[in-house]
A and B are shown apart, each in its own frame.
Chain A
């Protein structure tokens, strides 16, 4: 029997029993659609988080006060339990590190801002002139913080776009005097709106010189030191040098934690990648279930068409021809199911992207390929048994079943 004839025969057989065919195509397509949509969700989450992390800066090395739980036993740590605070001088000392291009100390607190009788709660970030460029913020009007002695901050502030809008409306904000806590500050710049990102919402942020913020909050510790390495390759070296300098300054104690953006990114990447793989695995189970359904449908088909199989044998069909015809039918069911499922899945992912524009819900290629090929392979594998059963039927017995 010629291949086009086998395919046509299988197609006619499949369309001859619409209910059966629809059911197995549906099962297969739900399986494939599940793989496509779930991996689109998983991979979308991964891309979203990675994208958010990338946007907080380039080649970032972040210093936190306090020792993180990892690392070996350190006798120095065993003696003094309270870690030293990070100070502005610690931050300034990091300029010595050759792998560091620029850095900014950061202290954070909440306060109130008032102008012309309007009052609102804000987050105050105390930092230095390099903070804005390191964090990839952009200044819409005016300038950023001035370059000056870190310990003698002038009474200026850079405000977020939303605060500007609420306090000043259409009037110019730059040059105005505002009150933050008990300080009177002059606005020197307004940030471009960026919206909700990972961490703080910059649109409601007020950035002031670090020493001013420390005075306001009556503390001389830092929340973070943001360090920018000279290049991507220099990140490990920068981390090393930062650690070494701070250890020296803290009398040999490693009482700070240095994390790199790369490491955080890699961790999230791995975590969410594993998550995607996990949901793909769960979805793949539905493919296996669909495969079993196709097998049952084909077994029913063999039983239903026993008389026909006997006839085909009487008319000179070889066992191979009958096997091929039934395999082709199973392959057709799963192929159509896979294609329909793929389209449904892409449609679903498209719907997700329409509903949540910030969420890049694209199914990864590997998942699409794996989903489609799993569908086809399970369809074929589960088609083999019914096809062999059909080919093995005794023609005389089969002919009597009519």
Chain B
């Protein structure tokens, strides 16, 4: 069974009098544990697709099955729960809370989920050492380098042990070397079984993924992993 199954997805934005078809007739299936790069020109609908996958947005038509369950019809609270437990986000601009320390930022998803402090502390300590941030636990985001910030963001995205990590141009704000490190981290996570969907402009980085999706004008123009036969 596929982790993600999109069928007939449409996403239309109303811009004044005109309609923008950000996603059109999109069918897509992603299996558990896959490593997928989403590429394509700017405005082709990559972010819109990722937002839909992350349940931050709803399609105008079509169905989205996540782990076999139709999640488009869930209530906002149920969707929040799915985001909390199954999905981790990594953003281009890191999106750390400026007044919270690195440790507090990493703990934030657990805090929101109501996990007890003790458990939180154990998991945060593990994450800090896992991402090489032991000495940065009490630093605020403005005291961290870009690479460190993105590492904090990745630690935060994984702290709830999600099945799916969605990264929208995670290296867009980083230099080549630091970007490399971040990609390595994400790939290591994928190697441990987490499904990884990365939006990227970078051809080289896209090429590292086992499967490439190329978007154009809201349509899926190319899918390197499209199996000739339907997946089991």
Contact B84 A402 (CB under 8 A): no
A12 is an interface residue with CB less than 8 A from chain B: yes
CA of A38 to CA of B143, assembled, Å: 49
**Is A314's CB under 8 angstroms from B89's CB?**
yes
CA A380 to CA B95, docked complex, whole Å: 29
* Chain B CB within 8 A of A13 CB: yes
B56 partner, pick from A1, A2, A318, A396, beta carbons under 8 A: A396
Q: Establish whether residues A311 and B95, one from each chain, have CB atoms under 8 Å apart when the complex forms.
A: yes
Most buried by B among A12, A311, A314, A316: A316
Evaluate contact between A315 and B156: CB separation under 8 angstroms.
yes
Q: Which residues of B have CB within 8 Å of A9?
A: 111
Chain A residues 303 to 324 lying within 8 A of chain B, measured CB to CB, are: 307-308, 310-321
B99 contacts A16, C-beta separation under 8 Å: yes
B56–A12 contact, CB under 8 A?
no
A12-B89 CB under 8 A given contacts A315-B84, A318-B80, A320-B77 = no
Q: Min CB distance, B224 to chain A, in Å?
A: 27
Interface bits A143-168 vs B (CB < 8 Å: 1, else 0): 00000000000000000000000000
Instruction: Please tell me which one of the listed residues A2, A12, A321, A395 contacts residue B100 in the complex, with CB atoms under 8 A apart.
Output: A12
Q: Which chain B residues lie closer than 8 Å to A321 at the CB level? A: 112
Task: Give bound CA distance, A1 to B114, whole Å.
Answer: 4
**Main secondary structure on A side of the interface with B:** helix
Which A residues are in CB contact (< 8 Å) with B97?
308, 311
What is the minimal beta-carbon distance from A307 to any residue of chain B, in angstroms? 7
Which residues of chain B have C-beta atoms less than 8 A from A317's C-beta? 80, 84, 112
Closest-CB distance, B119 to chain A (whole angstroms): 12
Contact B83 A316 (CB under 8 A): yes
**Does B64 belong to the interface (CB within 8 Å)?**
no
Task: Identify the closest chain B residue to A316 (Cβ).
Answer: B84
From 29 to 81 in chain A, residues with beta carbon under 8 angstroms from any chain B beta carbon are none
Question: How far apart are the CA atoms of A268 and B49 in the complex, in Å?
Answer: 76
Most buried by B among A5, A312, A319: A5
Contacts of A311 in B (CB 8 A): 95, 97
The interface residues of chain B lying within 8 Å CB-to-CB of A313 are 56, 80, 83
Contact B76 A319 (CB under 8 A): yes
Query: Which of B51, B77, B109 is in CB contact (< 8 Å) with A396?
Result: B51
Further contacts, 10 of them, CB under 8 A, given A1-B113, A315-B108, A316-B160 = A13-B99, A308-B97, A311-B97, A312-B112, A316-B80, A316-B85, A317-B112, A319-B77, A319-B80, A396-B51
10 inter-chain pairs at a CB distance below 8 angstroms, sorted by A residue, are A2-B111, A16-B99, A307-B95, A311-B95, A314-B54, A315-B109, A316-B113, A317-B112, A396-B56, A399-B91
- B residues contacting A by CB (< 8 A) are 51, 54, 56-57, 76-77, 80-81, 83-85, 89, 91, 93, 95, 97-100, 108-109, 111-114, 116, 156, 160
